[in-house]
Amino acid sequence: MRVGEALHLSVAAIASSVGCTDDEFRREPDALTFQSHLNRIVAIWLTITNLYIGREANAHTFLSAPNNHLEGRSPASFIEVGEFAPLEALMESMSFRQPA
């Protein structure tokens, strides 16, 4: 399954998150230059789904809902602009059941 399909994000959103245009991303989605960003996105998604015990519907709700720990922004909004560090920190806190 492709990353965008799994997260219910458009090709344009995923392209933006890896720092290219959607045309560039569509032309070569497996390009080596995109892989580090895509790996981070996948790790975030896997952490979210694990926290929700594999319930993807709940994980999608978490991904799209405003979050108080993220200044009212949704996790998806961070992915769309390639800001992974705040999500990675939140995922780590949630994984260890610590306050964010």
Mean pLDDT of 73-83: 95
Residue 8 above 50 pLDDT? Answer: yes
In percent, how much of the chain has pLDDT > 70? 96
Rounded to two decimals, what is the model's pTM?
Answer: 0.87
pLDDT at 100: 57
Residue 1 above 60 pLDDT? Answer: no
Residue 68 above 90 pLDDT? Answer: yes
Domain residue ranges of the chain, discontinuous segments joined by +: 3-95
Q: Which residue has the tokens 């895509």?
A: 38
Could you write out the DSSP letters of every residue in 42-91? HHHHHHHHHHTTT-HHHHHHHHHS--GGGTT--HHHHHHTT--HHHHHHH
